[in-house]
């Protein structure tokens, strides 16, 4: 008996209810219908051309970021979402996305504890707080080693850091909620840095991709246990950060 998308959707909803997603989010079944079957499952943070070209027909993709955020009002294949949708329909590729619901229930804590190695507690659905008692430079070095990132944008307002707040993805909208010495998040813009400095908060841009790329490996074990080693191939493709860095002397 083949699994249907409905089976996988119910399993995912059990571990991270889709109703927990933010109002602006678009998590859920985005391509396909629940009675469809599939031969392969692909776990990925994002969808791109290279991934779609490499996938076999009749694959179910489970992504972190939704491919479709806003309603599609015209079928223009120059548009990213419509272009990808065209490829997916031709290859019978289905898509379920787990975004802010999974951030809340799993990804933030997993990144902080299992990847960065910090002990702490969730202050709310998104913010993880840890007592560290270290120097700013040592903290930056530790983060660099843990996530294998060599270049950072940062704001250094204190030499010594007693406590930190961490949020995966893009968290600068939470700057007003930060009460710790340092805030680690991604997608830091210039004006976020200005604001952090004015608030005497040290700020480290850990990268959106770097903080969320572990989505696939996190869900892999849970999913393969659920599938009970049935004849379904589960793959985690190697996805590269589309934002590249180069150092000039």
Q: Measure the CA–CA gap between 181 and 164, rounded to whole angstroms.
A: 6
Please provide the average confidence, as pLDDT, over all residues in the chain: 96
Q: Measure the CA–CA gap between 37 and 227, rounded to whole angstroms.
A: 14
In the numeric block, the tokens 């065209």 are attached to 86
> What pLDDT score does 230 carry?
73
Contacts of residue 71, Cβ cutoff 8 Å, sequence gap at least 6: none
Question: What single string gives the DSSP state of each residue in 155-218?
Answer: E---SEEEEEEEEEEE-GGGGGG--SSEEEEE---HHHHHHHHHTT-EEEE--HHHHHTTHHHH
> What pLDDT score does 249 carry?
72
Residue 130, pLDDT > 90, answer yes
Q: Beta strand pairing status for 40-44 and 59-63?
A: parallel
Contacts of residue 225, Cβ cutoff 8 Å, sequence gap at least 6: none
Q: How far is CA 204 from CA 111, 159, 188, in A?
A: 15, 14, 8
User: Predicted confidence band at 229 (pLDDT cuts at 50, 70, 90)?
Assistant: low
User: Predicted confidence band at 20 (pLDDT cuts at 50, 70, 90)?
Assistant: very high
- The CB-side HSE value for 21 (13 A sphere, CA atoms) comes to 19
132, 160, 157, 158: which is closest to 146 by C-alpha?
Answer: 132
Tokens encoding 162: 């007693």
Hey, CA dihedral for 158, 164, 169, 171, is it positive or negative? negative
Domains of the chain, first to last: 5-98+212-235 (3.40.1390.30), 106-206 (3.40.1390.30)
Q: Beta strand pairing status for 94-97 and 28-31?
A: antiparallel
Contact 206, 149 (CB under 8 A): yes
Q: Measure the CA–CA gap between 49 and 6, rounded to whole angstroms.
A: 26
Contact 188, 18 (CB under 8 A): no
Tokens encoding 67: 């491919």
In terms of pTM, does the model score above 0.85? Answer: yes
Q: Beta strand pairing status for 94-97 and 202-205?
A: unpaired
Average pLDDT over residues 84-111: 98
Residue 215, pLDDT > 90, answer yes
């Amino acid at each position: 008996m083949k699994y249907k998308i409905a089976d996988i959707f119910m399993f995912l909803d059990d571990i991270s209810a889709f109703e927990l997603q933010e109002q602006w989010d678009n998590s859920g079944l985005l391509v396909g219908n629940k009675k469809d079957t599939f031969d392969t499952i692909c776990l990925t943070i994002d969808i791109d051309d290279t991934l779609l070209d490499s996938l076999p027909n009749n694959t179910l993709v489970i992504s972190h970021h939704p491919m479709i955020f806003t309603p599609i009002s015209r079928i223009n294949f120059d548009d990213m979402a419509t272009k990808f949708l065209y490829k997916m329909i031709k290859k019978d590729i289905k898509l379920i996305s787990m975004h802010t619901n999974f951030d809340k229930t799993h990804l933030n804590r997993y990144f902080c504890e299992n990847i960065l190695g910090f002990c702490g507690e969730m202050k709310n659905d998104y913010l993880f707080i840890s007592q560290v008692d270290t120097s700013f430079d040592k903290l930056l070095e530790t983060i660099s080693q843990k996530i294998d990132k060599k270049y950072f944008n940062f704001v250094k307002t204190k030499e010594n850091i007693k406590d930190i707040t961490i949020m995966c993805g893009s968290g600068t909208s939470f700057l007003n909620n930060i009460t710790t010495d340092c805030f680690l998040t991604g997608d830091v813009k210039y004006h976020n840095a200005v604001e952090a400095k004015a608030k005497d908060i040290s700020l480290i841009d850990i990268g959106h991709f770097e903080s969320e790329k572990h989505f696939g490996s996190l869900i892999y074990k849970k999913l393969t246990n659920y599938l009970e080693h049935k004849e379904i191939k589960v793959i985690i493709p190697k996805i590269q950060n589309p934002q590249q860095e180069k150092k000039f002397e």
